[in-house]
Amino acid sequence: DLNHFYIGKNLFPRLSEDAGGYENIDAAGYQILLNYRDPSGFAKQVTLTEVLEGKVDPNWIKDRLVIIGTTARSVHPGFYTPYSGSSKYPQRIAPVYIHAQVASQIISTVLSDRHLIWYLPNWAEAVWVWGWSIVGGVLAWHLRYPLRLGLAGSVSLGSLVGVCYLLFLQGAWLPVIPPAVTLVLSGVSVMAYSTYQTQQQTKIIVLQVEKQKEAIEQLNTLLKETTRIYDKHVHSGATVDNTEKATGDFILGGRYQINKVLGSGGFGCTYLAKDNQRPGNPICVVKQLMPARRDTRFMQVARRLFDAEAEILEVLGKHNQIPELLAYFEENNEFYLVQEYISGHALSEELPPHHNIKTESEVIEMLKGILEVLAFVHEHRVIHRDIKPSNIIRCDTDNRLVLIDFGAVKMMQPQSSEQTELATVAIGTRGYAPPEQFAGHPRLSSDIYALGMIAIQAITGIPPHELHPHPETGTVEWRYGVKISHKLAEILDKMVRYHFSDRYQSAAEVLQDLQKIE
């Protein structure tokens, strides 16, 4: 091959004008990249006078390559090399030493398999650079939080530098700065886009939450009216018996074939259904929500509450720990939500009295799993209002914890004999919901209280409603006889403080303190 230079089987690749980090260089002739050796002790230097006077040891030149040349700067000022920046060596090296470096490289490559410097073609360099930009984008998309992204970005940059250094020891000349810049820029760009997207989603949700509050207040007013109008004829005529729905013959909305009743209550029923209009007829969950009354005023307010709830679930369902909202519709004056089916079991089956008391590490892991999704929910300014073990599902496929039953629409439910007047004013479950929530003023920290009570139940074995508050502070007393580290006990105490202002104000704060324990 006339275009390539071989010695034996060793190819000395010809330098191109854009090789490695070069751009449009003069690559005329047959040039190769020179892998310089350390100049110190590289070769013995003797003067011509020493040779003529016989002061040169013959063993120095026996079976060696001898290069004769001048080192006088008056003849040639010398060349800059990779060692020019070191104070240990002269800034310029005489041409005769460059010749010696070239000869040494050729000989050692053929006889000792010493690495030649190699580099990637342009297309491979582009893949290398863009690959690291994808890493930055993926990290930003999945981590989302600036602190975590900063840590992951630092690790990624360190990995990039480490990989390039290790490959450089093997003769590879790979770009470092371009992929580092694209890694950072793509991470920052995706984070900025994600933040913008979250802000836009939050604006939508805040608007829907305001609609929720307004609708809830109107429902409370209507429910408290002395004259209660229940259109029992319409109620009984429009609702199909659950037995009929469980036969598999009943179809809702023209597409959802009801297979099984999962649960029922004053607010309506939850069904397992098959979607006949999607490929493969996947299983989904259909929630039927029956308004307490069917008069025009009540239905108008209930409809607004239902639509607001559906809009919120549409956004929140994008998180992999919240069931995706597939559809929502109204039929026969009843409201229906269709959500992704999560195959698994309720967290209540893992907690006492159904299961043994959990260890401290298990409680921390459980808390972290729920706090991850709770941080996302709170980031959108949404309060779940009914966090309890039965509303948390352990997914069979990947063991993740999924938060279900966002229930502001439960305000439409009729009052049952077991409910107090307070329970119709606010949503929540006794023992898990904090005082301000039952007073009708839930906050983000109300969800943190409920989660703290779940953790206390897991580690003590005592149901929350059986715990007694401290007579002075009002905070539940639970630490007596419990073997638990002081740090975790302090975190749980702060989660369940009586006054909402004394608790953690965000799920992210709790996560940070849990990380400190580890």
Query: How far apart, in whole angstroms, are the C-alpha atoms of residue 27 and residue 346?
Result: 70
Output the CA angle 255-257-263, nearest 5 degrees: 125
Q: Order of strands, edge to edge, in the sheet holding 268-275? A: 251-252, 256-265, 268-275, 283-289, 334-340, 325-331
Query: How far apart, in whole angstroms, are the C-alpha atoms of residue 201 and residue 398?
Result: 28
Output the CA angle 458-341-400, nearest 5 degrees: 40
- String of DSSP letters for 438-467: HTT---HHHHHHHHHHHHHHHHH---GGG-
Question: Which one, of 363, 409, 410, lies nearest residue 389 by Cα?
Answer: 363
Question: Which one, of 26, 104, 34, 31, lies nearest residue 65 by Cα?
Answer: 104
Q: Which of 275, 386, 405, 447 is catalytic?
A: 386
b/e map 321-358, b = 16+ CB within 10 Å: bbbbbbbbeeeebbbbbbbbbbebebbbebbbeeeebb
Q: Tell me whether residue 386 is one of the annotated catalytic residues.
A: yes
| 324 contacts: CB under 8 Å, gap ≥ 6 | 317, 318, 339, 340
**For the purposes of burial, counting CB atoms within 10 Å of the CB of 437, is it exposed (0-12), middle (13-18) or buried (19 or more)?**
buried
Cα dist. 108→10, 103, 118, 167 in Å?
A: 11, 9, 16, 19
Question: Which one, of 378, 383, 382, 363, lies nearest residue 461 by Cα?
Answer: 363
Helix ranges (DSSP H) in 279-391: 296-316, 360-379
**Catalytic residue numbers, as ranges:** 386
